[in-house]
Amino acid sequence: MKNLVCKYKDKVLESGRETILCGIVNVTPDSFSDGGKWYGTDKAVNRAMELIKAGAKMIDIGGESTRPGSTYVEIEEEKNRVVPVIKKLKKMTDVPLSIDTWKADVAEAAIEAGVDFVNDITGFIGDPKMAEVVGKSDVGAILMFNPKIARPNHKSSANFPPFGGVGAFTDEELKSFEEMDIVEVMKKYLSKSISLAEKNGIERERIMLDPGIGFALTKRENLKLIDKIDVLREMGCFIFLGVSRKRFITNILTENSIDVDASKEEGFENRDEASAALTTIAAYKGVEVLRVHTMKHHFLAKLVADSVRLNELIEDVNFKPYSL
């Protein structure tokens, strides 16, 4: 496995090391996973610090829900939600912060507030100004494959709100995407994202790639993109993967008569334990960054998986006999 680097500001991350857990902080009243639990500056900051204390080495801050059925948040409102959180956290921690937005104006305000990465769920395609805004800064970029934009007429896209990107692909390209294998669609989409980045002075060493798990994909397509995740590393960039609490996970559990009712503790636990199973797989595959809602299950999962993957680097131990 080729070792890669990811640069942001004056910092450098290296692949081939422990998987980084990126804690999610939704500063929204309508998130699918936490229902506005961290909505408000103080609540969001406290949640971020809890995640860091529990093992998060990165925090992703979002001010707009992008779940199926979500609604557009006006730019000024989104800024008002996230900028105060970023400013407070920059005074409290050195852990890198990312802003989860596809809007250039929000990203620009977040960069001014001190954010370290821009996490764009459209991969620079939704807002034509985004690549330029990030290119003028020294922050890193997380570019996601967005199947909603690539296949706007696909059945799986119907429940998702628009994310811009009109005219980014020709009618011929969009038509070809409808019939193409999902891995190939992802590669073509992200190749365009990387091209936009490079045209704006953002080299691949500043980029992480996200396969867009849970966004307008079928159950099988989600699973296939996880299985073929190494394709992203072959494109020369770090991998940023978010699978925590995605619908295809709850579908697998439901099909096997396992409780996933989020209103009950057991249902929530089952979703997180199943999500952590994917963390084990991803960490073993060497995925550099995993975006997760909680630390408890995911930290244990990645700890064991990292130990297997990095076995040649760990200190060896001779175990004593069990005492009776």
Q: What is the pLDDT of residue 75?
A: 95
pLDDT tens for each residue of 43-59: 999 999 999 999 999 99
Total Cβ atoms within 10 A of residue 177? 21
Whole-angstrom distance, CA of residue 82 vs CA of residue 100? 9
At residue 85, does pLDDT exceed 80? yes
The better pLDDT of the pair 265, 9 is held by 9
Whole-angstrom distance, CA of residue 202 vs CA of residue 264? 45
18: left (phi over 0), alpha (psi -120 to 50) or beta: beta
Whole-angstrom distance, CA of residue 127 vs CA of residue 163? 8
| Residue 69 binned pLDDT confidence (cut-offs 50, 70, 90) | low
Token pair for residue 321? Answer: 């006999």
pLDDT tens for each residue of 13-42: 999 999 999 999 999 885 545 555 666 899
Question: Taking all residues of the chain, what is their mean pLDDT, rounded to a whole number?
Answer: 94
Exposure string for 265-304, b = 16+ CB within 10 A, e = fewer: eebbebbbebbbebbbbbbbbbbbbbbbbbbebbbebbbe
Q: What is the pLDDT of residue 37?
A: 64
Whole-angstrom distance, CA of residue 252 vs CA of residue 268? 14
> Cα 94 to chain center, whole Å?
20
The better pLDDT of the pair 139, 71 is held by 139
- Pick from 17, 19, 7, 25: nearest CA to 93: 25
Share of the chain above pLDDT 70, in %: 96
Do 4 and 112 meet the contact criterion of CB atoms below 8 Å apart? no
| Residue 72 binned pLDDT confidence (cut-offs 50, 70, 90) | confident
Token pair for residue 302? Answer: 């990645």
Helix (H) or strand (E) holding 103: none
pLDDT tens for each residue of 171-220: 999 999 999 999 999 999 999 999 999 999 999 999 999 999 999 999 99
Do 2 and 39 meet the contact criterion of CB atoms below 8 Å apart? no
Q: Which residue has the tokens 């996880």?
A: 226
The residues with which 141 forms a beta bridge, in sequence order, are 118, 207
Helix (H) or strand (E) holding 248: helix 247-255
Total Cβ atoms within 10 A of residue 257? 6
Token pair for residue 14? Answer: 């290296």
At residue 302, does pLDDT exceed 80? yes
CATH 3.20.20.20 corresponds to the domain 20-243: yes
